[in-house]
Structure 1
Amino acid sequence: MTELHATPLVSVNRLCKTYGGEGGLFGSRTVALKAVNNVSFDIAAGETLGLVGESGSGKSTTGRVLLQLEAPTSGDILFRNKNITGLSKTMLKPYRRDMQIIFQDPYASLNPRMTVGEFVAEPLDVHGLAGARSERQDRVASLFKKVGLDPSFMKRYPHEFSGGQRQRVNIARAIALNPAFIVADEPITALDVSIQAQIVNLFQDLQDELGLTYLFIAHDLSMIRYLCHRVAVMLRGRIVEIGPCEAIFENPQHPYTKALLSAIPVPDPDIERNRRPIAFDVNANLPPEEASLRAVGDRHFVLGG
């Protein structure tokens, strides 16, 4: 893994994203949903922070709000110590080069009417970095090689590729502008199990080569353990536990974290047959609104009263 730096590349402070709560049809009011509720964390340069939790916990919303693809309801997002919260599209454009996203569905992320070469080159055109046509082609060919694709594929269309190849195309586009930070929003979930490890290894190789920093959102805890330096566990829009990867997996503190880890399959039929995952009652264990993260170890924090 790459060397970590003490200074955070990304800092999120008391981030909130609320949907609804406003007037609806015929004067009715919708119920406010706190998709992200008072979330704070730092990501050091060169680090991979894993973000885990059940569907609907707020993981993807956190990633989208962090990149300003959706406006936060409140809170601050700092990138290289610059508060980018609420910046206009024009003022955000320079930061777009440094902050990219890779989505879960590799086919839906691609434009079926564009060749994959044109798709990867598009960010270069948008930011005025394309140069001459030959230079543009060389740059795209280099990106294809970097993600393990033959440059001769550049003239093909998305439907001509497998799921793993399509995700490699999306990764090539994400690194086209030499970003510092990438949000990987469940980038392996839609792929075959046999391909997932290849894509995770590609993420790690690119991090080592390019010094990338990741927020890696995933359901697969075994992949999180393999790839990430630290892990944050989300429940109902809040981070309930965050700490170094080994601390979370070897010494989980929050009941929800324990329940998640107990559900990881064991590659032994005899053990798996007799194993019982830990039950978790969210209503009985959810901390009150005023609860805050408290230290339980070295850089290991748990949400409690």
Structure 2
Amino acid sequence: MVEKAPAPERPEPIVEVNNLSKIYGGERRLFGAPSALLKAVNNISFDIAAGETLGLVGESGSGKSTTGRVLLQLEAPTSGDIIFRSKNITGLSKRMLRPYRRDMQIIFQDPYSSLNPRMTVGDFVGEPLDVHGVCTGGPERLDRVAALFRKVGLDPAFMKRYPHEFSGGQRQRVSIARAIALNPAFIVADEPITALDVSIQAQIVNLFQDLQDELGLTYLFIAHDLSMVRFLCHRVAVMLRGRIVEMGPCEAIFEDPQHPYTRALLSSIPIPDPDIESTRRPLTFDVSANLPPDDAVLEPVGDGHLVMRG
């Protein structure tokens, strides 16, 4: 794999999240008590600098994907503020959000379910160009889509094919081509390699790195695979039950984890040595007995390294 680009000097953040929460439930029923509340995202704050990749990690159900969807206003937050390029976009209507959609895109976990099976992949990639009126005519659109295919490593001759004619890795490349069609500044990558074979995962991660170097992209990279996070990301935020319990530079998180949940996650990374792996015992973490109190906050423990105590 290509070497990770050095972390950029931290300019003004392109994305800021302040005290963001997303709570489901509480709806009144016809009979009985209101439904139970689920704090999927619970009062989290972070920022991402231009050209930076922030990795968001945690077990299933920790709130990672919900954070990504709320950040792009695909779901409305319950409370908190989302600042994009110094503008508060929280609660904007669909019409007012439209100009920001060009600059903020998402890549989903399952490339097959995110593609329209009735559309050719060329039309799928070109659809954002039509919606935002980027191209003036058919030939220009065709050239733009062909260039996008080449940029993600696909033959433009495939543009007239349908999603079922592609492998998982090729379908994810199609999804990436659509995501970059409008030259966005910020992309949420929601576990984009989880559904792929290991060898293909490395290729897709390399593609993310190449596109970042070429286009100056900023990523929120949501993932389970911590080894890929270490390779690609400049900073890491660790989520537990809707809260960020540790955050900091990638090497600080991996070399000197402070929260017991982070240490347990890192201990689960497989070691490619059968002799070591057969005797190694990952650390355990009792979530129910170690949830941080509601008033717990992130405290500095190093240069840009924050941990939640309690």
How does the TM-score come out when normalised to structure 2? 0.97
Q: Which of residues 202, 205, 215 is equivalent to 1:200?
A: 205
Q: Which of residues 48, 72, 85 is equivalent to 1:67?
A: 72
| 3-state SS in 1 of match to 2:31 | helix
For 1:252, the aligned partner's letter is: P
Q: Which of residues 81, 86, 106 is equivalent to 1:81?
A: 86
State how far apart, in whole Å, the 1-side matches of 2:85 and 2:296 are.
29
Paired residues of 1:4 and 1:45 also in contact (CA < 8 A): no
Deviations 1:176-219 (A, max 9, x none): 00000000000000011110000000000000000000000000
| 3-state SS in 1 of match to 2:275 | helix
| 1:182 matched residue in structure 2 | 187
How many equivalent residue pairs? 305
Q: Which of residues 132, 140, 160 is equivalent to 1:135?
A: 140
Deviations 1:104-125 (A, max 9, x none): 0000000000000000000000
| 3-state SS in 2 of match to 1:46 | coil
| 2:157 matched residue in structure 1 | 152
Q: Which of residues 217, 221, 238 is equivalent to 2:243?
A: 238
State how far apart, in whole Å, the 2-side matches of 1:205 and 1:252 are.
29
| 1:114 matched residue in structure 2 | 119
Instruction: List runs of 5+ in structure 2 lacking aligned partners.
Output: none
Paired residues of 1:141 and 1:151 also in contact (CA < 8 A): yes
| 1:250 matched residue in structure 2 | 255
Paired residues of 1:4 and 1:46 also in contact (CA < 8 A): no
| 1:34 matched residue in structure 2 | 39
For 1:193, the aligned partner's letter is: V
RMSD: 0.8
1:222 aligns with 2:227: yes
Q: Which of residues 279, 283, 286 is equivalent to 1:281?
A: 286
State how far apart, in whole Å, the 2-side matches of 1:104 and 1:31 are.
28
Paired residues of 1:67 and 1:99 also in contact (CA < 8 A): yes
Question: Alpha-carbon deviation of 1:284?
Answer: 2.0
Question: Alpha-carbon deviation of 1:130?
Answer: 2.0
Q: Which of residues 252, 259, 265 is equivalent to 1:260?
A: 265
State how far apart, in whole Å, the 1-side matches of 2:209 and 2:9 are.
14
Paired residues of 1:294 and 1:304 also in contact (CA < 8 A): yes
State how far apart, in whole Å, the 2-side matches of 1:294 and 1:24 are.
41
State how far apart, in whole Å, the 2-side matches of 1:41 and 1:218 are.
17
State how far apart, in whole Å, the 2-side matches of 1:131 and 1:178 are.
17
Deviations 1:42-86 (A, max 9, x none): 000000000000000000000000000000000000000100000
Question: Alpha-carbon deviation of 1:255?
Answer: 0.4
For 2:226, the aligned partner's letter is: L
Instruction: List runs of 5+ in structure 1 lacking aligned partners.
Output: none
Question: Alpha-carbon deviation of 1:4?
Answer: 4.1
Question: Alpha-carbon deviation of 1:220?
Answer: 0.1
State how far apart, in whole Å, the 1-side matches of 2:120 and 2:284 are.
48
For 2:109, the aligned partner's letter is: Q
| 3-state SS in 2 of match to 1:282 | coil
| 2:304 matched residue in structure 1 | 299
| 1:169 matched residue in structure 2 | 174
Deviations 1:261-287 (A, max 9, x none): 001000111111110111101122211
